[in-house]
Amino acid sequence: MSEKSIDMLFNSGVLTGEREGALLPPRELWEKKKGGVVVVECPQRIPCNPCHTSCPTGAILPFEDINNTPVVNWEKCTGCTLCVSACPGLACFVIDLTFSKENALYKLPYEMLPLPIKGQKVECLDREGKVVAEGTVENVTQPRKDRTHVVHVSAPKNLVTVFRSIRVVK
């Protein structure tokens, strides 16, 4: 990661590239994994591990030190979204590249009200909040009843490195 990228992250809070704690799954696995795989963008050492403790398959590996950044075994991930719902920093999401020929299914944390509904159009946002596409809500779940909702949005596959949030359009 370049010095400019590091400065951007720590000065603005915007992640500008892959780094420890924020790596994309291997593309060859990702393109075949039904249900999707988790992407964790948690690049700073902080005392937190709900992603690991909520993972039923052990895909998010145990932390040697609670301050470590998460490490993922993507082959074990089922795309269940329990980590997405449990993460207090909204740093976990699941992307399913097998959803359709042209679209991926992005399973994103969502803590706003009102909740979007199935079939609703939403704006797909990048890390800076800029609109990069329009998507369609396919489902809204709450995998852990006391935690964050997960909105499942179909949107173009070419957005896997940039699409990170949604804005509901009235």
pLDDT tens column, 69-80: 999 999 999 999
| CA–CA gap between residue 170 and residue 152 (Å, rounded) | 18
As to burial, measured by CB atoms within 10 angstroms (0-12 exposed, 13-18 middle, 19+ buried), residue 64 is: exposed
pLDDT tens column, 39-54: 999 878 889 999 999 9
Structural domain that includes position 92:
3-168
User: To which H or E segment does residue 169 belong?
Assistant: none
Domain total of the chain:
1
The C-alpha torsion from 76 through 29 and 46 to 49, rounded to 10°, is -20
**Is the full-model pTM beyond 0.75?**
yes
